[in-house]
Every structure is written in structure tokens, then in C-alpha cells.
């Protein structure tokens, strides 16, 4: 059977375990040898106990757990060719030439890089006598399939990334809780949610919690946002509201690209409106807790499809990500999605807000 390895890399997200489980079970079902790689690329470079063969039961009772039970890490070594050489050796010695990488755009880019230089790595290892020609022949090509695990929904090419829905559940629980105390004391609450480059969490939580105002990175507020914000807040109070909720994405900026922080907003609301104002930064709570039903099922579907895509791979097929498109699991070229994702970041850097919104909207 084919050798497949699955690993999680970069920031963790809820639902990653469900994806790992689906890859392991679909792989075994189709007669493959499936391995876990612990601690992401670091485990691949280190080898040894970090790469272990998985059994059907090794993934029992993990579908409901948050985070990733096989660990995730950021890895400097893998950015250097020597590190990738070690990683290749560890894989080839175990007969692994199919990878399912579960991570964000950085992790997927790393995987693509690895795949592009694979032939050279194999040749070098063979020349150095680190692998046998039989091993080299079995692993002549490296097949890669990516699954996007990220709470931010910051990847172009998929409707939803694994973890986003659970993070939204966490945020809404927090906002709903805060609303009661805000109501009681007629307060304004400013809540910071994750999303350094992507306003999805902020936007969707604002819409579903009836927030007064939202700040996102891709679509800055009007030039004179201070007055606009104060006008909206006081209008709501005059209409009988006892509170205001303002949601701020971590990466919120003004039209000149300068950060808009919770402290700045608090200052303005207090000075101009004399409202009692508090800040709540949700932080890693958003990445915690159990995955939602949606994320579990999404991850199961993506994981199963990833293995099938690896079975279909030919030497000429390009690296792909399995994504969600209108409730269908579809395969899309990995680098095309990464490039589009980087395109949004560039548009924001260039302060071309129309382009940023357009590219993000295409999902």
C-alpha cells in the first residue's frame, strides 16, 4: 500500500483532530500505511518517535477535542534546504511519499516548496548513500494535498476554513454574556477578536450580535471614523438602546493603513460621548473549546477527500487543497489559492481597499 503521512502545522484550530481522524481512517480503509507526524514540520525534520504508524483505533475519541492531539509547531529548520533534506530522508526511509498537510497558508507554501525540490532532494540523498535506490524508486514523486485549518477564514479558495465556525461560536457566547452586563450598567463594550489580516470573524460576529460598529482590516471606516462611530453610538442610545457593542478585528486599520486599537476607540467614546466604556480582548479563548458540529463534519469530508485525491495523483498533477465550495468538497490548485491569499495582503498593504474587498469577497 501507499505510504501517507498526516500532520498539523502553524496555528491550531478546532476540527484539526477530526481531519486527522478522517485521513487515518480513509487511508487505512483504502489499504495504505498511514503515519502521524507529531509537531508539524519539526517532527518531520527530527524523525524518530515523531513519525509513527497510525492504527484505526489511534484516532478514536479525538473528534470532539479542540486543538490538535498530534501537536503543531513553527519550524525554522524546514525553511532551510538542509532541514528539508533531513525531512525527506525521514519520509523516504519509511516509504512515505504522500502528505496531507493541515495548516494555514504558510504551512501549505512550505509543502509546495518541498514538493518542487523533491527530485533534487531524492537524488542528493541517493548520492550520499543515505537512502537505497529501491527506497528512492518507491518515493520518486511527492504528492501533496492541503487542508486549511485556521480560525480566521483567511484563505482564498474555500468558503470556510476548518475552525472558523467553532471560533464564531466562542465569540458569540462571549458577546452574549457581555450584553447582559452592558445592558445593566448602560455600558459600551469594545471587543477585540482575532483576525490580523482577515475581518471575517469580526464581521460575522458583529452581524449576528447586532453590534453597533465593526472594524475590519480589509475595509477601513470613513476618513473621519471617530465622528461616524460616535454618531452611530449616540443614535442607538437615543433610540432607547442601553448599550453599544463595538467589535474590532486584531488587524483593524484606518484608510491610511494605521492601526485602530481598542484603546483608541475607548478614548474617543469616553471623551466625546461620556459613555462608561470597557474593553474585552477575547484572545486564545477563540481557539479553545470543542469543535462545532459544522467543523467536525467539514474536517471529516475534507480529510476523506484528501486521501482520495492522493490516490488519484499522477506524477504530473499539481499540489492541491481540498476546499469547500457551495457545500461541495472540491480540489483546487494550492499555489493559485496561496497567491490569491497573498494578493489580498498586498492590496491591503497598498491601501487599495476596493481591490482588497473584491479579492476577499471572491473567497
Instruction: Please state the residue numbers annotated as binding site for substrate.
Output: 150-152, 187, 194-196, 250, 278, 284-287
Residue (69 or 264) nearer to ligand ADP, CB: 69
Does 333 participate in binding ligand ADP (rule CB under 6 A)?
no
Nearer to ligand ADP, 10 or 15 (CB): 10
Binding positions for ligand ADP, 281-320, rule CB under 6 A: none
Binding residues for ligand ADP, rule CB under 6 A, total 16
Query: Is residue 41 within 8 Å of residue 75, measured between CB atoms?
Result: yes
Q: Does 79 bind ligand ADP (CB under 6 A)?
A: yes
Q: Which cell is 203 given?
A: 464581521
Indicate whether 71 belongs to the interface with ligand ADP (CB under 6 A). no
Per-residue x/- mask for ligand ADP, residues 116 to 155, rule CB under 6 A? ----------------------------------------
Residue at shortest CB range from ligand ADP:
106
Q: Which of 46, 49, 127, 152 is catalytic?
A: 152
- How large is the C-alpha radius of gyration of the chain? 23
Based on the shown chain and the rule CB under 6 A, indicate whether residue 9 belongs to the binding site for ligand ADP. Answer: yes
Cβ closer to ligand ADP: 95 or 106?
A: 106
Cell, residue 305 = 477527500
**Active-site annotation holds for 152:** yes
Of 3, 66, 71, 103, the one binding ligand ADP by CB under 6 A: 103
106 near ligand ADP (CB under 6 A): yes
Using DSSP, state whether 275 is helix, strand or coil. Answer: coil
* Calpha distance 279→57 (Å, rounded): 45
Q: Which stretch binds ligand ADP (CB under 6 A): 85-93, 100-108, 221-229, 334-342?
A: 100-108
Residues in Cβ contact with 355 at an 8 Å cutoff, skipping those fewer than 6 apart: 347
Indicate whether 90 belongs to the interface with ligand ADP (CB under 6 A): no
Q: Using CB under 6 A, which of the segments 71-79, 118-126, 189-197, 207-215 binds ligand ADP? A: 71-79
CA dihedral 18, 20, 26, 28 (to 10 degrees): -130
When the beta carbons of 104 and 157 are compared against ligand ADP, the nearer one is: 104
Alpha helices, DSSP H, located in 63-199: 81-92, 105-116, 118-127, 133-138, 164-185
The correct pick among 17, 58, 107, 205 for binding ligand ADP (CB under 6 A) is 107
Name the minimum Å distance from CB 153 to ligand ADP: 13
Burial letters for 77-102: b for 16+ Cβ neighbours within 10 Å, e otherwise?
A: ebeeeebbbbbbbbbbbbbbbbbbbb
Q: Report helix angle 118-127 to 105-116, nearest 10.
A: 50
Question: Which of 106/289 has CB closer to ligand ADP?
Answer: 106
Per-residue contact flags (x/-) with ligand ADP for residues 32 to 51, judged by CB under 6 A: ---------x----------
SS3 content of the chain, % helix, strand, coil (to 5): 50, 15, 35
Which is nearer to ligand ADP, 36 or 114 (by Cβ)? 114
- Tell which one of 3, 71, 110, 199 touches ligand ADP (CB under 6 A): 110
What is the torsional sign of CA 35, 37, 41, 45? negative
**At 34, is the secondary structure helix, strand, or coil?**
strand
Quickly count: other Cβ atoms within 10 Å of residue 49's Cβ.
Answer: 8
Task: Specify the residue for cell string 514538493.
Answer: 115
The C-alpha cell at 340 is 490569491
Specify the pairing of strand 143-148 against strand 328-333.
unpaired
Residues binding ligand ADP (CB under 6 A):
9-11, 41, 74-75, 78-79, 103-107, 109-110, 113
As annotated, the active-site residues are 152
Amino acid at each position: 500500500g501507499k505510504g501517507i503521512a498526516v500532520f498539523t502545522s502553524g496555528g491550531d484550530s478546532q476540527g484539526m483532530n477530526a481531519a486527522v481522524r478522517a485521513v487515518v481512517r480513509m487511508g487505512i480503509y483504502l489499504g495504505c500505511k498511514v503515519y502521524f507526524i507529531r509537531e508539524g514540520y519539526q517532527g518531520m525534520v527530527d524523525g524518530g518517535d515523531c513519525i509513527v504508524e497510525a492504527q484505526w483505533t489511534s484516532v478514536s475519541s479525538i473528534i470532539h477535542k479542540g486543538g490538535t492531539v498530534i501537536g503543531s509547531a513553527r519550524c525554522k529548520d524546514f525553511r532551510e534546504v538542509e532541514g528539508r533534506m533531513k525531512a525527506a530522508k525521514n519520509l523516504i526511509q519509511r516509504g512515505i511519499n504522500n502528505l496531507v498537510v493541515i495548516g494555514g497558508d504558510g504551512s501549505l507554501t512550505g509543502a509546495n516548496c518541498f514538493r518542487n525540490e523533491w527530485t533534487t532532494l531524492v537524488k542528493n540523498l541517493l548520492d550520499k548513500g543515505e537512502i537505497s535506490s529501491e527506497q528512492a524508486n518507491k518515493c520518486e514523486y511527492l504528492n501533496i494535498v492541503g487542508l486549511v485549518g485556521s480560525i480566521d477564514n483567511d484563505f482564498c479558495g474555500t468558503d470556510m476554513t476548518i475552525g472558523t465556525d467553532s471560533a464564531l461560536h466562542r465569540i458569540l457566547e462571549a458577546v452574549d454574556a457581555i450584553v447582559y452586563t452592558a445592558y445593566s450598567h448602560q455600558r459600551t463594550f469594545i471587543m477585540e477578536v482575532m483576525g490580523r489580516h482577515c475581518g471575517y470573524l469580526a464581521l460575522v460576529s458583529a452581524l449576528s450580535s447586532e453590534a453597533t460598529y465593526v472594524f475590519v482590516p480589509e475595509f477601513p471606516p470613513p476618513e473621519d471614523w471617530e465622528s461616524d462611530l460616535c454618531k452611530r453610538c449616540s443614535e442607538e442610545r437615543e433610540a432607547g438602546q442601553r448599550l453599544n457593542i463595538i467589535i474590532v478585528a486584531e488587524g483593524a486599520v484606518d484608510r491610511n493603513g494605521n492601526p485602530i486599537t481598542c484603546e483608541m476607540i475607548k478614548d474617543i467614546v469616553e471623551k466625546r460621548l461620556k459613555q462608561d466604556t470597557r474593553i474585552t480582548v477575547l484572545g486564545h479563548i477563540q481557539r479553545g473549546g470543542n469543535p462545532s458540529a459544522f467543523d467536525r463534519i467539514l474536517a471529516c469530508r475534507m480529510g476523506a477527500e484528501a486521501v482520495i485525491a492522493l490516490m488519484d495523483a499522477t506524477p504530473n498533477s499539481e499540489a492541491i487543497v481540498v476546499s469547500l465550495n457551495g457545500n461541495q468538497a472540491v480540489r483546487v490548485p494550492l499555489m493559485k489559492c496561496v497567491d490569491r491569499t497573498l494578493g489580498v495582503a498586498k492590496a491591503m498593504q497598498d491601501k487599495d481597499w476596493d481591490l482588497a474587498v473584491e479579492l476577499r469577497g471572491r473567497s
